[in-house]
A and B are shown apart, each in its own frame.
Chain A
């Protein structure tokens, strides 16, 4: 069965600090995709990244970076020099190639960036 764990329920940091959000997943499939979404207080889920199981290269996009490690089934997300606008709930999600159109979302991590 698919499963996504985000062990950090809530994190608070002071602006300009770096913060890492953890995501650990379980799957029996060899082909799968991992996603990160941001949900600000307005409610909309904003897509951040999609990564397939065959691409373990780390990715950097501005202040955001992602570390994918199949050996530990983790797909962690780091925000460098955090800003107040980064305050949101962040969801990690898993989709298996053979499982149809169903994402499995983690429980989310609420990040508060304090000025």
Chain B
């Protein structure tokens, strides 16, 4: 089973709202990732968690706040977003918490629209 689940599938929020994206995997993977994907572009890495600790933050604005409550869950808290933050947000996981070359398995994504 290589399933990564994400909720919600779609989210519309105003610039003053606070919302959260959720990602879950039960494959025993030790690394989890958040990506942002704009239309007709490849995914861009935002954050990486290894063994539940933040290991990579690709200079993401503080209005995006990741959280890894346990090894199976990954959240992305959103606050005071801008319309240009509208995108598909993808979560992924990989087996090793230390190797960068493991296969990443992706969830279906959350399509976010900021009004």
Contact = CB atoms under 8 A, between A and B. Distances in A.
Most chain A beta-carbon neighbours within 10 Å: one of B33, B42, B105: B42
Contact of B105 (A43, A47, A91): A47
A100 B43 contact: no
Contacts of A91: 42-43
Contact of B106 (A44, A50, A99, A107): A44
A64 B42 CA distance: 22
Of the four ranges (under 10, 10 to 19, 20 to 34, 35 or more), the interface on chain B belongs to 20 to 34
A35 B107 contact: no
Of the four ranges (under 10, 10 to 19, 20 to 34, 35 or more), the interface on chain A belongs to 20 to 34
B55 to A, nearest CB: 7
9 contacts: A43-B108, A44-B109, A45-B92, A47-B2, A52-B101, A101-B48, A107-B42, A108-B41, A108-B42
Interface of B: 2, 31, 33, 40-43, 45, 48, 50, 55-56, 88, 90, 92, 94, 99-101, 103-109, 111
